[in-house]
Amino acid sequence: MTATIFYLLAAVLAATTGTLVAGAGDDGTTHIRLYIHETFSGANATAVHVTDSPLGGNSTYGTLSVFDDELRQGSDAASQLVGRAQGITMQADLQDSGVFSTLLTVVFTVRVVIMVYDF
């Protein structure tokens, strides 16, 4: 069932433009390495702080940010753009300012080719 869903997803993604190649490992898994490029400030910021905590003071509980980041094939900003990482991040713990909940959607703008080898 999982393989069927995976290949269905690959077929849907193949309808887009460009190419991203991924290979299947010896254990049957497929690894795709992508890099999220996020900009926090300036005219081209891709991550924006929306609201502070409703509790006020030094509390970070309930802070909300949104992002629409570039998804690239490499860590270099000039590497091939393959999609977008879009979503919401919220601070979700009253006690610890380092606990976040994130809703993330990955949108591919290139064709994904899965290389599968049967020996």
70 - beta bridge partners? 37, 84
User: What pLDDT band is residue 30 in, cutting at 50, 70 and 90?
Assistant: confident
User: What pLDDT band is residue 6 in, cutting at 50, 70 and 90?
Assistant: very low
What are the pLDDT digits (tens) for 54-96? 888 888 888 999 999 999 999 999 999 999 999 999 998 888 7
Predicted local distance difference test score (pLDDT) of residue 66: 95
User: What's the rounded Cα separation, in Å, for the pair 98 and 115?
Assistant: 39
| 3-class state of residue 88 by DSSP | strand
Predicted local distance difference test score (pLDDT) of residue 113: 64
pLDDT at 45 over 60: yes
- pTM score, two decimals? 0.66
